[in-house]
Amino acid sequence: MGNRQRLIIIRCTALIALAVCAALLMGYLRPASHLCGFDFDCDEVLSSRFSKLAGIPLPVYGMLTFAAIFACSLASRPQWGQALRYLALAASLAGLALILVQVFVLHSVCPFCLVVDCCALVLAYAAFGWRADALPMLPRRVRQLWLGAAVGALAVGAALGAASSWLPGKEANPPPPEVEAHWVPYKVTIVEVVDFECPHCRAMHSVLSRFLREEGKDLHYVRIVAPMAKHPHAKDAARAYLCAQAQDKDEAMADQLFDAVDLTPAGCERLAEMLGLSKSAYQTCVASEEIEKRIDANVRWVKKAAPKGLPCIWVQDQQLSGSPSLDDLRKAVATAELRLHASGR
């Protein structure tokens, strides 16, 4: 492989990494975004203690590093070529370390993060196989085209990250029958799908609880549990909630589960005891096959109906993905009320 081909690989790889870093940064700036979806571990990785350095999100460092590598690849002086090599080595070491952290420490892998880390390894391989003292002189027009491509990569990445955010009124898919089954006549129904171990679901709980306290008098509210496989104790918490529901303590149990640190079976049982649930009835319930089938059925249809992940809320037939604000909820309810009055239901 010649020098020119290696430089093209370096530039294209740096552009890919820049675009993905911009998308990941949007995930920090707009927590309601869902880059991955129901079955992936983006939230766990992006909210971990390894996601920031000196309080600054890692995608910022990534964007600066890959932008510097890209800029060096456009220069014609040997010293810039040497700088590119050092930057590529540093990026590859950081990328390898972050891959190991995801696999062996967090036990969760963010596909977008993995793309960036692999790009760093490719850059190191390409940069250390070419002659830094034989850089071609780029015509001004070609250099401008490459710079335009860099700006475009950042714009596309940022747009990708922003496009996954919740936008009121943009979810046009009809509600699944599992949601419609909870509708009641002459009332707006809010159906929320949650995972008690999901960090965004926990944040949404406080917003929705406040909304229901202030404006939920004439609303019908239903909570559906759909534990994601990536959360090790989400299913234990879902069982605890449904078994508390059988003893009319579902709301109290939900509040406890959203706040709890320990969602293991033993931890959930302690919450049940604290709430005064019958211990024998609770233990029989959490061990029942019926509860297991009910949870699995929820997960199957939610995966199809909410591919962006959780939390997911239906306000009558309007699907709100992510973390809508109080104003977003008010607007959705107002729209639903107008539709109900117009239909006479």
Threshold 0.75, pTM exceeds: no
Q: Are strands 312-315 and 52-53 parallel, antiparallel or unpaired?
A: unpaired
d(CA 224, CA 226): 7
Give the per-residue pLDDT at 296.
Answer: 97
Instruction: List the one residue out of 204, 177, 160 whose CA is nearest residue 328.
Output: 204
Q: With bands split at pLDDT 50, 70 and 90, how would you rate the model's confidence at 345? A: low
Question: Would you say the CATH fold of 177-343 matches that of 3-163?
Answer: no
Given a cut of 90, whether residue 1 has pLDDT beyond it is: no
Residue found under tokens 């760093």? 120
Give the per-residue pLDDT at 165.
Answer: 46
Give the per-residue pLDDT at 154.
Answer: 95
d(CA 142, CA 160): 27
Bridge partners for 53 per DSSP:
56
Domain boundaries, the chain: 3-163, 177-343
Q: Is 206 exposed, middle or buried (0-12, 13-18, 19+ CB in 10 A)?
A: exposed
Sheet holding 312-315, edge to edge: 219-225, 188-194, 312-315, 318-321
d(CA 157, CA 116): 12
Backbone angles phi, psi at 42, to 5 degrees: -60, -45
Cβ neighbour number for residue 137 with a 10 Å cutoff: 8
Encode pLDDT of 161-185 as tens digits.
876 544 444 445 789 999 999 999 9
Bridge partners for 221 per DSSP:
190
Given a cut of 70, whether residue 288 has pLDDT beyond it is: yes
Encode pLDDT of 59-84 as tens digits.
999 999 999 999 999 987 888 888 99
Give the per-residue pLDDT at 308.
Answer: 75
Residue 39, Cα to own-chain centre: how many angstroms? 10
Q: 3-163 adopts what CATH topology?
A: de novo design (two linked rop proteins) (1.20.1440)
Give, in order, the Cα–Cα distances in Å from 147 to each of 11, 13, 208, 232: 10, 14, 45, 45
Given a cut of 80, whether residue 122 has pLDDT beyond it is: yes
Higher per-residue pLDDT: 87 or 3: 87
Q: Which two tokens stand for residue 265?
A: 């079976």
Superfamily of domain 177-343: Glutaredoxin (3.40.30.10)
Higher per-residue pLDDT: 108 or 169: 108
**Single-letter residue type at 66:** F
d(CA 245, CA 260): 18
Given a cut of 80, whether residue 49 has pLDDT beyond it is: yes
d(CA 182, CA 189): 7
Encode pLDDT of 193-225 as tens digits.
999 998 889 989 999 999 999 999 999 999 999
